[in-house]
Amino acid sequence: MRQLCILAVCFAVVGCSGHRDLTEYSLDEKSFDSEAMAKIQTESGIILPAASKGLAFKHIPPIDPIVFAKIQVPGDAQESLTKQIEALKTIEFPNDFAYDRCVWWPPPPEHIVLSKRATNNGYYIELHLVKENEQLILYIQYFTI
């Protein structure tokens, strides 16, 4: 029995160690990778246009993680992204939730084209579609409670 417990602990430690979602981390334009982009799409349910480019990312664990992302999307995707955002079920949740945990969140209000607080895929989602320097930027925050 003792060996079985030791073996179970070893599998748990080895199986869980090294995955970045177990720790708080940030990504910038250079380190924002396809894994982070896939995570956002899978968890939030928001389908990002193929030519989207990650600009900033913040993951705050552990049990109910909070994710912030800033993504440049192609300008010609504005209409399809707007339709996708508008189709989400609107919901109210705490104002300013975890805003103090991410220095570049929220986006500047004067540039917001569309904002929505919604639920999707079991997450609370806050989305802002923003025009910054002639670029279309999607700010997204999502979390569970």
Q: How far apart are CA 55 and CA 139, in angstroms?
A: 10
| Full-model pTM | 0.84
Per-residue pLDDT of the chain (145 residues; tens, 9 = 90+): 555 444 444 344 444 445 777 899 999 999 999 999 999 999 999 999 999 999 999 999 878 899 999 999 999 999 999 999 999 999 988 778 888 899 999 898 899 999 999 999 999 999 999 999 999 999 999 998 6
Quick one: how far is CA 143 from the chain centroid?
8
The one-letter code for the residue type at 39 is K
CB 145 within 8 A of CB 108: no
Q: Tell me the CA distances in angstroms from 2 to 8, 11, 14, 17, one per residue in order.
A: 10, 14, 18, 22
20 DSSP assignment: G
